[in-house]
Structure 1
Amino acid sequence: MPVAWDEFRLVRAVAERGALAPAAAHLGINPSTAFRRLAAIEEELGARLFERHRSGYVPTPAGEAMAAAAARMEEEVARFDREVAGRALTPSGLLRVTAAATLVTDLLMPMLGRFRARYPKVQLELVVSEEALNLSRRDADVALRATRDPPPNLVGRRLATIAWAVYGPVRGETESAAWVSPSEAVAGGLFSRFVAERAGPERVALRINTVQGLCEAISEGIGIGPLPCYRGDRIAALRRLSGPEPELAGSLWLLTHPDLRQAARVRAFMDHVAAEVVPLRPALEGRHEEKQEERREE
């Protein structure tokens, strides 16, 4: 009897995660169910797929071959899904969008509301993630990302520059203030190196492994630190302590897989978001304070 596709997925999940519990969680099944299914697969094939060790499950050559076959099958299924999605004539169906938490709360959510009002036949699934999801596997259809180097296998549009500056509280001493900083895990350590060049380790009061929470930490007086200008300029309790820092500037990209760029719902969404970002560029690019200065001079 041929082995079912779900069994290939189970073997691949165990091989990638090295244990039954995380593999079962990934597939949305009970660990005991995963154990019974794996035993049944091995019995049916007449081959051992994993060596069981205290440290976890290690695939045998047969297990490695089955996991590799599952990966190829998954890629073919994803390619078929992309091809079918690309042939849709009108904006309808499910659209998966991914973005980091700060982009969702500060930029994307109002855009999603207006998009749904315009295209009610499109159902949206929002995946909030700091990590870059695999658009080739259809983990998402469209990604809104702040990055300097978008993946070469994706296509899309550069929407704006994202400027960063140093911010602190409106009141209070800033010359000898403590700092808050993104950790080394954020943007390859770009921000932590920036802070380290301006403050010794003893002056860093708080490190955060995401951009989310930086604004709140500075607002609470924990320390001064870098923020994207479109966030920092909106907070009445904060003030800029520097101009936009060129070494921290990034780009806002809207990306999709090449097979999906002509899909009606993807094309409609990308056109919609690109148009919505145009009036936001001054704030994203840190030109908000320049406009205030111009108004004062007038």
Structure 2
Amino acid sequence: MADPFKNLAWDDFRLIKAVADAKGLPAAAAQIGVNHSTVFRRLKQIEEAIGTTLFERHRTGYALTPAGEELVALAQRLDDEITSTGRRIAGREPAPCGELRVTTPDSLLIHLLIPMMADFRRRYPQVQLDIVLSNQALNLSRRDADVAIRATDNPPENLVGRRLARIAWALYGRAEDFPDPAAVDEASLSTCNWVALGETMGALKAVKYVQKHVPPENVAYRVNTVLGLAEAVEAGLGIGHIPCMIGDARPSLVRLTPPVPDFAADLWLLTHPDLRHAPRVRAFLDFLAEQIGKHRRFIEGGGLLLDAAPPAAAEPAPAE
């Protein structure tokens, strides 16, 4: 008897899994980069080839049959194996070359990293940088990115990396509004207009502070990026807590308080254990550790003067 699965290709398993994840054809088609009619036609061909129905069609979407659940589980195992093999092979490059995907928040890229990226490219011209701006935890296990640059006190346990500095935060306002910041009465600041990060970043202690201590009617502006927060303070929309490395770099802003230790967060370089010895990843991690080490005092709220301290010691993420 002929094996009904013999003619199924990896793309067929991907299609089945995409339909299962999306619970419908249009979203599945967008996920795998084909049109709706192609998914419909190919799914019908697969079901005819194996002689069983994989999905029940409901008004609310596509639901897996028991046979469909088995194939999706198989597709997931295949996907995991392919991804894992790809990571291991990527670690055997003879020299730093190829594409390196790096995810970082916009504030770190604009205020710290772009000159370092340019210097890295001059040293390693065979490495092409693909930068993904995101505050979200992309899945490095699935190679959504090769390296993550994150401000966090709790790096994912499945990643390894280096803690390079501690990002200081302080309260800032416009210099023209506060010509003598040393004379500012901190108790009166809650009556000022404030700018704050949105609820999507509510885990940050700076956000919780505003929620607890600033009357809601005094919060004039919310935004979901740290870079946008600094722009709002500079535009005069209100006072707000921002990283010192952003506020101190803007002559139009002044600190209204010293750095708040409780708001600080560690700056991490992170990667997947299977990729940490890949030449392009290792070169990038070593290079950025050295460069960020030179700016450590600035990042930690010491002002614009860069110190000449040696690079920050590499520290493992919890999994290493």
Query: Which residue of 1 is the match for residue 117 of structure 2?
Result: 112
Query: Which residue of 2 is the match for residue 296 of structure 1?
Result: none
- Pick aligned residue for 1:192 from 187, 198, 207: 207
- Pick aligned residue for 2:72 from 67, 74, 77: 67
Q: Contact 1:156/1:253 (CA < 8 Å) preserved in 2? A: yes
- Pick aligned residue for 1:277 from 292, 297, 307: 292
Cα RMSD (Å): 1.9
> Cα deviation per residue 1:16-36 (whole Å; 9 max; x = unaligned)?
222322222221222222222
- Secondary structure (helix, strand or coil) at the match of 1:287 reads coil
Identity %: 51
1:43 is displaced (CA, Å) by: 2.2
Partner Cα separation in structure 1 for residue 221 and residue 25 of structure 2:
37
1:212 is displaced (CA, Å) by: 3.4
> Cα deviation per residue 1:135-154 (whole Å; 9 max; x = unaligned)?
11111111111111011111
Point out where structure 1 has 5 or more consecutive residues left out of the alignment.
292-298
Query: Which residue of 2 is the match for residue 29 of structure 1?
Result: 34
Partner Cα separation in structure 2 for residue 189 and residue 251 of structure 1:
13
Q: In the superposition, relative to structure 1, how do residues 103 and 23 fare at CA in structure 2: closer, same or farther (>3 Å)?
A: farther
Query: Which residue of 1 is the match for residue 151 of structure 2?
Result: 146
- Secondary structure (helix, strand or coil) at the match of 1:272 reads helix
Show structure 1 runs of 4+ deviating over 3 A.
none
* Aligned amino acid, residue 101 of structure 1: D
TM-score normalised to structure 2 length = 0.85
Q: In the superposition, relative to structure 1, how do residues 30 and 244 fare at CA in structure 2: closer, same or farther (>3 Å)?
A: same
- Secondary structure (helix, strand or coil) at the match of 1:288 reads coil
1:55-134 aligned within 5 A: 55-134=60-139
* Aligned amino acid, residue 231 of structure 2: E
Q: In the superposition, relative to structure 1, how do residues 198 and 187 fare at CA in structure 2: closer, same or farther (>3 Å)?
A: closer
- Pick aligned residue for 2:221 from 163, 183, 206: 206
Query: Which residue of 1 is the match for residue 16 of structure 2?
Result: 11
- Secondary structure (helix, strand or coil) at the match of 1:259 reads coil
Query: Is 1:20 paired with 2:25?
Result: yes
1:55 is displaced (CA, Å) by: 2.6
Further displaced range: 277-286 or 44-53: 44-53
Partner Cα separation in structure 1 for residue 79 and residue 40 of structure 2:
22
Partner Cα separation in structure 1 for residue 86 and residue 305 of structure 2:
47
- Pick aligned residue for 1:228 from 209, 233, 243: 243
Q: In the superposition, relative to structure 1, how do residues 191 and 16 fare at CA in structure 2: closer, same or farther (>3 Å)?
A: farther
Partner Cα separation in structure 1 for residue 228 and residue 281 of structure 2:
31
- Secondary structure (helix, strand or coil) at the match of 1:212 reads helix
- Secondary structure (helix, strand or coil) at the match of 2:199 reads coil
Query: Which residue of 2 is the match for residue 216 of structure 1?
Result: 231
Query: Which residue of 1 is the match for residue 3 of structure 2?
Result: none
> Cα deviation per residue 1:31-81 (whole Å; 9 max; x = unaligned)?
222222222222222222222233322222222222222221111111111
Partner Cα separation in structure 1 for residue 258 and residue 19 of structure 2:
50
- Secondary structure (helix, strand or coil) at the match of 2:173 reads strand
Further displaced range: 249-258 or 282-291: 282-291
1:171-190 aligned within 5 A: 171-172=176-177, 175=189, 176-186=191-201, 188-190=203-205
Partner Cα separation in structure 2 for residue 67 and residue 252 of structure 1:
38
Partner Cα separation in structure 2 for residue 15 and residue 122 of structure 1:
36
- Pick aligned residue for 1:48 from 53, 58, 74: 53
1:155 is displaced (CA, Å) by: 0.7
Further displaced range: 79-88 or 169-178: 169-178
Q: How many residues were matched structurally? A: 291
> Cα deviation per residue 1:115-154 (whole Å; 9 max; x = unaligned)?
1111111122222222111111111111111111011111
Q: Contact 2:298/2:305 (CA < 8 Å) preserved in 1? A: no
Further displaced range: 178-187 or 136-145: 178-187
Query: Is 1:158 paired with 2:183?
Result: no
Query: Which residue of 2 is the match for residue 295 of structure 1?
Result: none
Partner Cα separation in structure 2 for residue 189 and residue 118 of structure 1:
36
Q: Contact 2:249/2:304 (CA < 8 Å) preserved in 1? A: no
